[in-house]
Chains A and B, each alone.
Chain A
């Protein structure tokens, strides 16, 4: 396992960083969001990957604006960022507005395993695993 990984991404409007994330073997671009407790998948992506949604399993989400809502919570059997793999990661399922061409959000439940650095000038996410 590498001691650090430099993941070259790209900046979207507003200066937010997008990086490729491998979900159950396939790659998609996710928005890096250190303000999000959960990683999120679009409902389209969940359908594509055949991830099962259990209506009884939900998470209460407080968006930046609006009321607390309950949305589906699923388990990603394998997710990989910058070559670092994690198994059985929880993610919420979102229906993104059609204006946003997003497949997912990389949240803190994955990022908290690392010292993270966002290099805006190089459009790079740097992950250094935290030694426990």
Chain B
């Protein structure tokens, strides 16, 4: 049986990786709290590809895709202004 993990535990278990989970629990604000890991890895491309295939097979699934560590490297400052 697939193992449900809390999102916080997934971040600690798979640092610096992209992860896709099928969401099993959300909080009052509809924020994902836990899920079953579908795939994980260091490159986003294969993760997205796997999600696309999974959604084709399970169109009702709710997937959360996220990068486990800080998405902004320490040597880069983000200054975005899209006007």
Q: Which residues on A are within 8 Å of B, measured CB to CB?
A: 2, 5-8, 12-14, 16, 18-20, 22, 25-29, 31, 33, 35-38, 40, 44, 47-48, 61-65, 80, 82-83, 92, 97, 99-103, 105, 107
Interchain Cβ contacts under 8 Å between A and B, 8 examples: A2-B28, A20-B32, A27-B63, A27-B64, A38-B82, A44-B48, A61-B82, A99-B73
Cα-based distance from A35 to B66 in the complex (angstroms): 23
A31 to B45, CA, bound (A): 20
A65 cross-chain contacts in B, Cβ below 8 A: 79
In the complex where A7-B31, A26-B63 touch, is A37 in contact with B82 (Cβ < 8 A)?
A: yes
Given contacts A7-B29, A35-B80, A101-B44, 5 further A-B contacts (CB under 8 A): A48-B48, A62-B81, A92-B82, A99-B72, A102-B71
Is B27 engaged at the interface, CB distance under 8 Å to the other chain? yes
Residues of chain B touching chain A, judged by Cβ–Cβ distance below 8 Å, are: 18, 23, 27-32, 44-45, 48, 51-52, 55, 62-67, 69-74, 76-83
Q: Which of A14, A18, A29 contacts B77 (CB 8 A)?
A: A14
State the Cβ distance, B1 to closest chain A Cβ, in Å. 23
Which residues of chain B are near A102, meaning CB under 8 Å?
Answer: 71-72
Q: Is the CB of B81 within 8 A of A35?
A: yes
Count contacts between A and B, CB distance < 8 Å: 116
The docked-state distance in angstroms from the alpha carbon of A121 to that of B63 is 28
A contact residues around B45 at 8 Å (CB) = 44
In the complex, what distance in Å separates the CA atom of A58 from the CA atom of B75?
32
B30 & A80 in contact (Cβ 8 Å cutoff): yes
* A13:B76 contact, CB within 8 angstroms: yes
CB distance from B64 to the nearest CB of A (A): 4
Q: Let me know if A100 and B64 touch, CB within 8 A.
A: no
Given A36-B80, A37-B82, CB of A28 within 8 Å of CB of B71 = no
Chain B residue at minimal CB-CB distance from A71: B82
